[in-house]
Chains A and B, each alone.
Chain A
Amino acid sequence: QKEVEQNSGPLSVPEGAIASLNCTYSDRGSQSFFWYRQYSGKSPELIMSIYSNGDKEDGRFTAQLNKASQYVSLLIRDSQPSDSATYLCAVARRIGGFKTIFGAGTRLFVKA
């Protein structure tokens, strides 16, 4: 079992729709959860971080965490073609980062 699992996609949504990206993790001791976006040929960049169960909203992005189910998700509202990228879920055992493990990523295509 991989430490962080994501559906590789591709996930294709029309412009203006909600894109839903999911991630599960195996280490119950994980405390820090992140979503990074990676454009083709570029390096990952942070979109959201979440540490407590529930929802965290930032603009068009909402991260959801359920530690009991070991599940993290990212919702992108009003998806734009510029959101087309690979979305990487990342997990760290302790607050403050430490060893951060990434999933394989989900490729998202937003069709104009």
Chain B
Amino acid sequence: GAGVSQTPSNKVTEKGKYVELRCDPISGHTALYWYRQSLGQGPEFLIYFQGTGAADDSGLPNDRFFAVRPEGSVSTLKIQRTERGDSAVYLCASRRDRGRPGANVLTFGAGSRLTVL
């Protein structure tokens, strides 16, 4: 697609429920990033994929968070047993291959706002 697409744009769930957030990156972008942003804070790194594999998942806060990118395009961030502290905007970004013009630039989607009641 022309831009990074994230769904849903808004998700309200109850504490303890399971949530999936989807990211469809720009066509041809091999790197995909997930960030979490709380009000008044900068984006907090969660994980990034190079192709199908998670190149760095050091930002995932605990084992309730998991992300996949099985075909190297669309990615899903999965949160189990949601807690109120998980409430935030989850941002996805994609980046071109190294060596191509603009390879250093992260292009962000509009985000998925998660509210855990």
Contact = CB atoms under 8 A, between A and B. Distances in A.
A32 B104 contact: yes
Interface string A68-104: 0000000000000000000010101001111111111
Given A34-B104, A96-B98, A102 B43 contact: yes
Interface residues on chain B, size class: 20 to 34
Interface stretch (A13-21, A42-50, A57-65): A42-50
A44 B108 contact: yes
Nearest to A101: B45
Contact of A49 (B31, B44, B91, B104): B104
Given A88-B42, A88-B43, A102-B42, A45 B31 contact: no
B45 A46 contact: no
B62 interface: no
A52 B44 CA distance: 25
A63 to B, nearest CB: 13
B65 to A, nearest CB: 16
Interface of B: 31, 33, 35, 40-45, 48, 55-56, 58, 91, 95, 98-99, 103-106, 108-111
Given A95-B98, A97-B95, 9 more contacts: A8-B40, A42-B110, A43-B108, A44-B43, A49-B105, A88-B42, A98-B48, A99-B58, A102-B44
